[in-house]
Structure 1
């Protein structure tokens, strides 16, 4: 039993060190991206700045875009609990979902120069989550916000929140891609229009 506990402790220590390394590599890459631009920074430069071998860097991150993914997903995980008081001030349902999209649009605008390579990299990864594809967590966030709206009677409850979240996530992605292709579009305005379409549907209004 003591050997098993020791093995688990050692495994946990190795995993913590691995995660710390991933964070350090990603933070080093982000500092370079922010200072010099994404296209100008090479993987070799990142490895040198982080003081690791190219083999070590490529072992954990096969491309620069994978470093962006690690950074953005970590930011989303950290932001979700932090914005709960702000979201709680909006009524559950459409108002709360709209407020989240406003906050997310502001974050996207601050990362706009880096979003297109990130999204392209995510779309190129055809693996299922069970096969190792990393999830952003947006599906869980949308599902939670929709479930809150269902519980409050603001959203229809005859369909699972996870199913509705999937369709919202596809609409959200399509809107983001359209905005990234046209710098003149406002993400906040386009997200609001997207939400209006999702909530109101395609039927003609009187």
Structure 2
């Protein structure tokens, strides 16, 4: 099989597995579905499934990454329409809070998987892809002048992404917590710092 065709077939198989698995998870529940069931429904050998995804949580990672990749252009357009970094972060995090709230079980499984599966340096295999949205936002802020350019963009992206984890983990572990409210407070902390400024 020629290289281009082989690569297209791999992408198609990868996406098919994700589509079949997510449909099963949505219909019957994440915990109820086995890898063997996914292989059977997708009509692939178990060895093939495990080659693409070693565990169900890796399928979630693939799904989340694919969704974020598909949203890069729409989110870029949305960010362009807003005047500053604070309003852009508020809009982006509002969308994130809505999606997370609708997929709480998936979010919990994905984050537990990511935290328990260290990746080699430079590997993006299990990352969500949300960092691409943060990069766009922070780059616009640096160009506009309301985000510091004293720090390299990759460092700012990594810092903001890691800071996001705290309100998300608190929300997952606190039954009546409001994720949107937690994320809005996180924006203030990131942009304004923790100093108690009076005056």
Shorter chain as normaliser: what TM range?
over 0.9
Equivalent residues, number: 198
User: In 2, are the aligned partners of 1:92 and 1:145 still within 8 Å (CA)?
Assistant: no
1:135 to 120, 127, 135: 127
1:199 to 175, 191, 195: 191
Secondary structure of the corresponding residue to residue 83 of structure 2: coil
- Evaluate the alpha carbon distance shift between residue 132 and residue 172 of structure 1 in structure 2; reply closer, same or farther with a 3 A threshold: closer
Alignment TM-score, normalising by the size of structure 2:
0.92
Q: CA deviation at 1:37?
A: 0.7
- 1:152 matched to 2:144? The reply is yes
Secondary structure of the corresponding residue to residue 167 of structure 2: helix
Q: Find the structure with the greater CA-based Rg.
A: 1
Instruction: Describe how 1:164-175 pairs up with structure 2 within 5 A.
Output: 164-175=156-167
Q: Distance in 2 between matches of 1:53 and 1:109?
A: 34
Q: CA deviation at 1:129?
A: 4.6
Q: CA deviation at 1:132?
A: 6.7
Show CA shifts across 1:140-175 (max 9, x none): 321221121111111222112221111111111222
Q: Distance in 2 between matches of 1:137 and 1:56?
A: 24
Deviates more, 1:81-90 or 1:154-163: 81-90
- 1:67 matched to 2:40? The reply is no
Alignment TM-score, normalising by the size of structure 1:
0.89
1:115 to 104, 107, 123: 107
Q: Which runs of 5+ in 2 are unaligned?
A: none
- 1:11 matched to 2:17? The reply is no
Q: CA deviation at 1:179?
A: 0.9
Aligned-residue Cα RMSD (Å) equals: 1.7
